Chain A
Amino acid sequence: MADVDKKNEFMQAYEHYADAIYRHCFFRVFSKERAEELMQETFMKTWQYLSNEEKEIKNIRPFLYRVATNLIIDESRKKKDISLDALIEESDAREPAYEGHKDAEKRALLKELYGNLEKLNADEKNLIVMRFVDDLDIAEIADILEITSNNVSVKLTRAVEKLKTL
């Protein structure tokens, strides 16, 4: 029965957080197909951890973001150079809904954002997405990345300053 409860709770977490994790992944990899795969892999790895009887996750939200962050780091280590056009073309394979926006507008915005984010290093990109896309606060980000809140504040401020000058 405990297994069934665990499974049900886990699937509820999926219902609750899948969209947010997908969004996080999308703004890191700028590919809809890859963002879906990363999101799915995040939940699968989380379940693999949870399905071990001895393991427990007290707060699943930061755990999910931590897994997603690590997967994206692995991804970026393997990724070859690829043009933005190729990324966006590949991402059109499965397009999420963009309410109220025509494709051309959305594509233009995406290109701009991608270009801006590319000026940051990987840590800074991650912080910007966590703070301004995922709406996580400093303490939550620190918990996810397992660094101090002070460290998060300093790096985030630096990243924001860089973006303001663009």
Chain B
Amino acid sequence: MTSFFEKLNILKNTLHLESARKKALGQELLNFIHHLDAVRAIETERHIQQRSGFLFNNPLLKPMPLLAIVTIFATLTGGVSFAAENALPGDILYPVKVNFNEEVRAALSFTPEAKAEWETRRAERRLEEATEISASGTINNKERVELEENFKEHADKVNARIDEFEEKGNLTVAADVANRFETSLKAHQEILARFESDDRAVQAEIKPLKKKVNDELDDISKTRIHIESRIATHDGKPETKTAAEGKLKAAINNIATTRNFIELRKENLGADATTEAEVKLKNAENLVLEGRAKIDAGTYGEAFNLANRAMRMAQEVRLIIEAEAKMNAKYGRKNLQIDLLKKKEVGNETDVKKESDDENKNTGNEETKNSLRVETEGNTEIQNGGAKSEGELRLHLGL
């Protein structure tokens, strides 16, 4: 019989941080260090301005409610602004998160690419917050409207950056930003689609949010397709070849990381979700192979676009699974079960097909179409022209 110490030895020697995760946390640590430097620089400036009497003319200071000012000073003793990072709409530290933490990080983004990345991240953060308060059932009208407005503000900035990159001829950078944003929106569209609730108040708030995300997704998809069509005409350029090769490598890494992530979480995902995710990842791998063939053929623009599609697929899978894991851990599996949908039923199955973007229609590739299939188990009876089902309702995500 293995002793406690033998068991401990076995586990301790095999327990370590994944190197990618360690690197990511290290980057966050560096961001924190820069953030703290910025906070101290602002405080030094404030002291100087106070002494000189020009407090209210300082461009670094925006009009803020008293609570935010007090919170900022509390930040200087350490810890508060970091704690604000987990704040949600309605929390007391939420204004610090949005009006201070995020503004400081924006100020620390020096290149146009970094600015675009951070604006995309800010838009994503609003969607993540919306997902979380939807999952917890605490979403209300005021918070939803505020989230929507903030999201729109950041989404507009992302689109403006993409336009700038395109105007300056930085097509691959424009495509990267557009792809990243589109992937995030698509993933959040899927995630928000899960939150069907009996609570009418919650439903009333989730619906306009979904519409906002859908509208933005439509816009960014069109933008991305347009940019990709321009890239396809830059086939012969050496910089396009470099970009395509780099993007293919990144796509391969992304697929491998996502696959590893799913493998480690198989038990919590269920067979269907795992299978569907694997199908999507295999499609992504096929796109990488196609991309390689295009590079060999010298059509670098097409190769770049294919690599981006592969990245989008892998990233989307990861985002959805990550969100599901987080919500499951925080709010319990039963909160993600889908309530009865009032749809027409054929037998015990209801099919709800969603069309994905134009390129998927054109390829005719059935596997790349997104689909949402709802299965009911148990008895189904038809009453008054409608259908009523009992038993568990499962949502299959067509990833």
Interface residues of A (CB under 8 A from B): 7, 10-11, 14-15, 18-19, 22-23, 26-27, 33, 36, 39-41, 43-45, 47-48, 51, 89-90, 92-101, 103, 106, 109-110, 112-113, 116, 132-133, 163-164, 166
Contact = CB atoms under 8 A, between A and B. Distances in A.
Contacts, number: 109
B368 to A, nearest CB: 28
Contact of B328 (A19, A89, A99, A132): A89
B126 to A, nearest CB: 22
Of the four ranges (under 10, 10 to 19, 20 to 34, 35 or more), the interface on chain B belongs to 35 or more
Interface stretch (B9-17, B87-95, B239-247): B9-17
Contact of A36 (B17, B30, B32, B265): B17
A48 B75 CA distance: 11
A93 B326 contact: yes
Per DSSP, chain B at the interface is helix
Per DSSP, chain A at the interface is helix
Nearest to A86: B329
A14 B32 contact: no
A163 B328 contact: no
Contact of A11 (B26, B326, B328): B26
A17 B18 CA distance: 14
A112 B36 contact: no
Contacts of A98: 11, 14-15
B29 A36 contact: no
B14 A100 contact: yes
Nearest to B11: A109
Contacts of A163: 4-5
Nearest to A7: B33
Tell me which of B12, B17, B28 has the highest count of chain A C-beta atoms within 10 A of its own C-beta: B17
6 closest A-B pairs by beta carbon, nearest first, are: A95-B264, A90-B329, A93-B325, A48-B78, A163-B4, A99-B14
B297 interface: no
30 contacts: A7-B33, A10-B33, A11-B30, A18-B22, A19-B16, A19-B22, A22-B17, A23-B15, A26-B15, A39-B25, A40-B25, A48-B78, A51-B33, A93-B325, A94-B21, A95-B264, A96-B16, A97-B14, A97-B264, A98-B14, A98-B15, A100-B14, A103-B264, A106-B11, A109-B10, A113-B8, A133-B12, A163-B5, A164-B3, A164-B4
